[in-house]
Amino acid sequence: MSDEPEWGLVMPFVACKSQGGAFDDTSFVSGYRLGGLDATLALMQPLVYQLMVKPSDLRQCDLIAMKHGYTVGWGQEDEYEGEWINVTFRPVPPE
């Protein structure tokens, strides 16, 4: 038994190719995560919201933020294998 943490899906994405489905795994997961971001900003309207995203999703995060009246800022790539960036969403201040 290893002491290393293990990761796994709580719910399998059966629509993904790795599960016998039709859709590319990476694209499906990205769309799922960004759809959750879109819903969070629309429904919860948080004053500040932080999320870890893949660098390839930054441009889409910016568009989602603008759609809901938010600015987006991001830090440097995190140390987690250099695959994630911390993104912060804040409402655009009133003029």
pLDDT at 21: 93
**Rounded Cα gap, residues 92 and 56, in angstroms:** 24
The tens digit of pLDDT for each residue in 4-41 reads 656 566 788 999 999 999 999 999 999 999 999 999 99
CATH of the domain spanning 17-91: 3.30.1370
User: pTM for this structure?
Assistant: 0.82
Give me 66's structure tokens.
């603008």
DSSP string, 2-32: --S-----SS--TTBGGGT-SB-HHHHHHHH
The domain segmentation of the chain, as residue ranges, is 17-91
